[in-house]
Chain A
Amino acid sequence: MRYALATVLLALFVLAWQGVATLHSVDDLTLASPVETFEALRDDWSLLKDNAGVTLVEVVLGLAISTVAGVSFAVGMHLFRPLRDAAYPLLVGSQAIPVVVLAPIFVLAFDYGIGPKLAIVALICFFPITVNLLDGLRSVEPELLKLMRSMGASRLRTLRSVELPASLPFLFSGLKVAATVSVIGAVFGEWAGADEGLGRLVLLGNNQLQTPRVYAGIVLLTLMAVGLFALVALAERFACPWNRKEQPA
């Protein structure tokens, strides 16, 4: 039922898109119709596929880096109060940096390779992962912490047995947000300077007035984000099975 409804809405959206695109008042260079987009996907498939592969690697590696960094940072901030107090404003500030502006500077600093793309993806994804995990680590009831203390648990034991498992659902919430914004990060990185990648292809298509190819690239980028989100959601089901059922009061 869930999937049926989603499919219906998606179909309606594509229909509306087709309708708007065939209006005479809409310029073909502004909006490619779903049919044209599909044709571009079919005709340029090998080009799109190769470039999508490059972007996917940037996204997945960037996500991996930000996950490792975010988890370490959140745990460090949780265990060490002065670090949290000192670094929290910086952490929030990092999210306010306009990545569009930063991307060209990263390219200057790291050159044209994969480096600046990873840096930008990691910078964007770091915040939701760190903040969510930190909230999760702090979500444990004081009574439970008191009980652990009464049982003689060490700080690390409490972290391992109570705080980390309790914060897993929070971590996955952060990862879901990160998975979707990571693709945007990779595109920004490629726009600032790249030889390959879907973001670069879309930018190039825009300049060369190949509108259907631009839309085909956007469709693939969207699918990538949705696919990553679904993977994280699936991983969550396996990692936190207790979280699926309603808990009795």
Chain B
Amino acid sequence: MQTQTEAPAMESLSFSKVTRRYRRVTALDGVDLSVRRDEVLAVVGPSGCGKSTLLELMAGLQEPDEGTVSVGGATSASERRAACAYMPQRDLLLPWRDALSNAALALECEGVPRSEARRRAEPLFERFGLSEFEHARPAELSGGMRQRVAFLRTLLPGRQVLLLDEPFGALDSITRASMQRWLADALAQDPRTVLLVTHDVEEAVFLADRVAVLSPRPGHVVAEIEVDLPRPRDVTGAGFGAVKRRALEALGL
């Protein structure tokens, strides 16, 4: 992908004995988890187990009550914010901007002038299947297209770490399946370190190199499953089914 990639540092992510509480509720309780550089780690768990909290901690939007969160050795919230590209569940496109300017937003936040940011976003529209929709407002785009614009916005600043919070959760199942394929291709061409939160076990096994299973609240890691399957993955294959079954068992299903 024609995005700028920052100097390759030790970009591995780690949570070390991380606990996070909200008033009386303990969301995360002693989470130990790490992601290697260019690895895709999927986190699955029942709803309310603190999956999104995990992402926001890594993104530097929250601080743990106990333990440390680090990105390539950096532990301060501002360093984590600078190293990670965070993508929330909803596309959150700005309705008054066209697709191109929406994609350019993250670059603008880094101080790139709007015209320059738009120029850098433009060549990627074709690769993302968005050509001819550069000047469409979000209201004129389908759900899948909106999500791709949101992906573009996330990828353009070229941050090595992607934090994805149920990126396809709001899409219908057909669009979701094609978007999962599309993301797998995009990551194959341009590897990044990815922490992907999802409640969809099949999505986790399809996209990830490793799947971490969280317990119900207070969340902690109950299993880490290597997904040692060739890519592109066949969701109907026997190997796929076996990994999926292990993940479901870890979830107690």
Contact = CB atoms under 8 A, between A and B. Distances in A.
Contacts of A157: 108-109
B86 A147 contact: yes
A152 B110 contact: yes
Nearest to B150: A147
B102 to A, nearest CB: 11
A129 to B, nearest CB: 20
Contacts of A27: none
Quick one: which of B59, B95, B108, B138 has the most chain A CB within 10 A? Answer: B95
Interface in B138-160: 138-139, 143, 157
Nearest to B60: A150
Interface string B77-119: 0000110111010101011100000000110111000000000
Nearest to A153: B109
Interface string A208-244: 0000000000000000000000000000000010110
A7 B128 CA distance: 52
A245 B81 contact: no
B92 A161 contact: no
Nearest to B86: A150
A65 interface: no
A94 to B, nearest CB: 32
B37 interface: no
Contact of A162 (B60, B94, B110): B94
Contacts of A147: 86, 88, 92
A141 interface: yes
Contacts of A165: 94, 96
B92 A141 contact: yes
B109 A151 contact: yes
Given A149-B81, A150-B60, A153-B109, A143 B95 contact: no
Task: List the 10 closest A-B pairs by CB distance, nearest first.
Answer: A150-B86, A153-B109, A151-B109, A242-B95, A151-B106, A242-B96, A165-B96, A150-B59, A144-B92, A152-B109
Interface of B: 56, 59-61, 81-82, 84-86, 88, 90, 92, 94-96, 105-106, 108-110, 137-139, 143, 157
13 contacts: A143-B92, A146-B56, A146-B61, A147-B86, A150-B61, A151-B105, A152-B109, A152-B110, A157-B109, A161-B105, A161-B108, A165-B96, A242-B139
Given A152-B109, A161-B94, 4 more contacts: A150-B60, A152-B82, A162-B94, A247-B95
